[in-house]
């Protein structure tokens, strides 16, 4: 029975139950009655507006004077607002038009500018829990009070120098100290699910490795692995003193061989061999993902202490697909989203079949993907203590709550950091929320389609052909 797809009825049954639990509740990103929500709604209707809006969002935190905010808002949105105004923006549209028609340094332009900047900041706060660890303590505690656990990520998209890499490392150490110390006295520190290996301590962090070394790259492979292992070890030593769990995030295909190598080097070392459940991430959109899972299971067996594996679809699809096309390389990722979904289920079963060596952490906002995982676990008799569900902060609270209510451990991935650093993350989240293929968008905007949303995903024929006849070495071969 192992490895086989469970019957579709129990998956649909659970899925529909989740949909009914969600009912009319909306994640905060879709529920704020504000400019931000309106802007997102319009951008779903109008692709050109969406590009301009997201480009504006990307540049806003860099702009220091209200005059330059006003001129950028005007440059990016004026035409679109004029157009959109005609199909019913009402007061907001009129206000924007009125503001932007003035000179960029006029008072009314500045008024609109500050309103826009404020809205974007508020929008960012939906996905980013705070600038500093101290700012996020309340939010983190409130999650636990709701019966949800968390993993903290410090936003740091790109570092150009060792100075910046060391600052980033320092931020991790500081965050662990601050949240670690505070959480020791939280009444909410008791386990949400007793005996779940992810609940040894409320504290869990996710680390983006490449931001810890400025010269990280495959042509600098050995040094990248050595330096990153050293820096990751410093973080792990700190997590150990709080019994905290640590996840190493996956990145783009170019850097992932380094990421996996560092993970195995650090957690296979004599110092950290016995660290329980160190986490690593698998991206289901990668054609080579299955081989990486196999390699990680073998690593966990060799290590003798189990690891945690977060399974996600993957967040760099656009970037990697575009760069591959520009370079004339075959894309390392599936071309069709449905194939990533199908692969996700395949990998879910592979992980759950090996739950003695790995703790599967199913990271998705797709109710079908999550329902499939829970149903499969039940089918093979995998206890709820032996896996968990992970979702992004601010993206899918109703889904998280519904699965919590079903008795599952749900962990939220909570980013911290200032807006300037966080914009890349915010824009990715906005794209995810508004894309045509976004499960969230469909879940919360046209939930009437629940049956379609719960259908079994199939590999697209084109991707299947490529998977069977790989022209390109798989990811795990690349790691060799």
Partner 1 sequence: MPTAKPFSNEPLTDFTISKNRDEFSAALRRLDQQLIKGPLEAAPLVSGVVRSEGVKFERVDPSNAVTLVGRVTFSSSALADTAVQGLRYSLSSWESTPVATRAAALRKAAALMRERKHYLSAMLVREAGKSWREADGDVAEAIDFCDYYADEAERVLTVRQTMEVPGEDNVYFYQPRGVCAVIAPWNFPLAIACGMTVAALVCGNTVALKPAEQTSVIAYELVRILFEAGIPPTALAFLPGIGEEVGRTLVEHPLVDMVVFTGSKAVGLEIIRSCSEVRPGQANIKKVVAELGGKNAIIVDSDADLDEAIKGILASAFGFSGQKCSACSRVIAVGASYEPLMTRLQAAAADLIVGPASEPSTLIGPIIDQESQQRIIATIDRAEQEQRLLFRGSAPSEGYFAPPAIFRDVDIENSLWTEEVFGPVVACTQARDFSDALDLANRSKYALTGGVFSRSPQNLERARREFRVGNLYLNRGCTGALVCRQPFGGFRMSGVGSKAGGPDYLLQFLEPRTVTENMLRRGFAP
Binding site for partner 1 (CB under 8 A): 55, 58-59, 62-64, 68, 71-72, 75-76, 157-158, 160-164, 214-215, 217-221, 223, 253-254, 257, 327-329, 472-473, 477-480
Question: What minimum distance in Å lies between the beta carbon of 320 and partner 1?
Answer: 11
Measured between alpha carbons, how far is residue 115 from residues 10, 70, 95 in Å? 48, 10, 10
CA-CA-CA-CA dihedral for 406, 409, 410, 415, to nearest 10: 170
Q: How far is the CB of 177 from partner 1 (least distance, A)?
A: 25
Provide the minimum distance between the beta carbon of 208 and partner 1 in the complex, in angstroms, as a whole number.
14
Nearer to partner 1, 136 or 227 (CB): 227
At its nearest, how many Å lie between partner 1 and the CB of residue 9? 43
Place of tokens 């490895």: 3
Q: Are 158 and 211 in contact (CB under 8 A)?
A: yes
Which CB sits closer to partner 1, 23 or 47? 47
CA atoms within 13 A of residue 399's CA, in its CB half-sphere: 27
CB of 261 to partner 1, least distance (A): 11
- The rounded Cα 27 to chain-centroid distance in angstroms is 15
Query: Of the two residues 363 and 417, which places its CB atom closer to partner 1 in the complex?
Result: 417
- CA contacts within 13 A on the Cβ side of 128: 28
Taking the least distance from each CB to partner 1, the nearer of 87 and 329 is: 329
* Region for 330 from its dihedrals, namely left if φ exceeds 0, alpha if ψ lies in -120 to 50, beta otherwise: beta
**Distance of closest approach, residue 65 Cβ to partner 1, in angstroms:** 9
Neighbours of 181 (CB within 10 A): 12
C-beta closer to partner 1: residue 161 or 449: 161
Task: At 412, give phi and psi (nearest 5°).
Answer: -100, 135
Strand partners, 416: 130, 154
Phi-psi region of 204 (alpha: psi -120 to 50; beta: other; left: phi over 0): beta
Neighbours of 130 (CB within 10 A): 18
Smaller CB separation from partner 1, 63 or 382: 63
What minimum distance in Å lies between the beta carbon of 76 and partner 1?
A: 7
Q: How far is CA 296 from CA 81, 133, 370, in A?
A: 50, 32, 22
Distance CA 306, CA 470 (A): 31
| Closer of 77 and 346 to partner 1 (Cβ) | 77
Question: Least separation, in Å, of the C-beta of 186 and partner 1?
Answer: 36
Residue recorded with tokens 């966080």: 422
């Amino acid at each position: 029975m192992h490895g086989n797809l469970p019957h579709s009825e129990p998956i649909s049954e659970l899925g529909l139950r989740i949909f009914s639990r969600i009912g009319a509740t909306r994640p905060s990103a879709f529920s704020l009655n504000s400019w931000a929500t309106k802007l997102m709604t319009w951008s779903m209707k109008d692709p050109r507006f969406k590009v301009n809006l997201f480009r504006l969002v990307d540049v806003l935190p860099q702009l220091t004077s209200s005059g330059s905010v006003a001129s950028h808002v005007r440059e990016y949105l004026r035409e679109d607002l004029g157009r959109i105004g005609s199909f019913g923006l009402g007061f907001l549209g009129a206000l924007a038009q009125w503001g932007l028609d003035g000179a960029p340094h006029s008072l009314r332009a500045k008024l609109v500018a500050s309103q826009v900047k404020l809205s974007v900041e508020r929008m960012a706060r939906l996905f980013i829990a705070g600038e500093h660890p101290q700012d996020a303590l309340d939010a983190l505690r409130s999650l636990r009070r709701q019966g949800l656990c968390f993993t903290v990520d410090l936003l740091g998209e790109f570092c150009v120098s060792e100075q910046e890499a060391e600052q980033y490392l320092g931020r991790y150490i500081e965050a662990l100290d601050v949240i670690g110390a505070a959480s020791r006295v939280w009444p909410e520190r008791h386990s949400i699910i007793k005996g779940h290996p992810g609940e040894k301590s409320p504290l869990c962090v996710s680390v983006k490795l490449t931001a810890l070394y400025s010269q990280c790259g495959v042509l600098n492979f050995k040094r990248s692995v050595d330096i990153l292992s050293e820096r990751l070890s410093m973080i792990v030593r700190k997590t150990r003193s709080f019994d905290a769990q640590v996840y190493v995030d996956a990145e783009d295909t170019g850097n992932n061989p380094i990421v996996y190598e560092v993970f195995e080097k650090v957690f296979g070392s004599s110092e950290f061999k016995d660290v329980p459940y160190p986490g690593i991430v698998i991206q289901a959109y990668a054609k080579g993902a299955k081989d990486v899972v196999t390699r990680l299971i073998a690593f966990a067996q060799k290590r003798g202490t189990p690891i945690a594996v977060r399974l996600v679809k993957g967040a760099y699809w656009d970037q990697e697909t575009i760069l591959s096309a520009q370079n004339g390389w075959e894309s390392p990722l599936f071309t069709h989203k449905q194939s990533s979904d199908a692969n996700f289920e395949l990998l879910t079963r592979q992980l759950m079949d090996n739950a003695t060596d790995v703790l599967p952490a199913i990271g998705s906002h797709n109710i079908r993907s999550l329902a499939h995982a829970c149903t499969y676990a039940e089918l093979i008799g995998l206890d709820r203590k032996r896996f968990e569900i992970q979702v992004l902060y601010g993206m899918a609270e109703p889904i998280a709550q519904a699965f919590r209510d079903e008795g599952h451990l749900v962990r939220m991935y909570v980013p911290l950091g200032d807006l300037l650093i966080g914009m890349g993350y915010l824009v990715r989240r906005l794209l995810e929320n508004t894309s045509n293929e976004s499960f969230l968008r469909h879940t919360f905007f046209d939930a009437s389609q629940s049956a379609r949303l719960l259908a079994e995903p199939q590999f697209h024929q084109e991707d299947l052909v490529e998977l069977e006849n790989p022209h390109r070495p798989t990811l795990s071969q690349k790691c060799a």
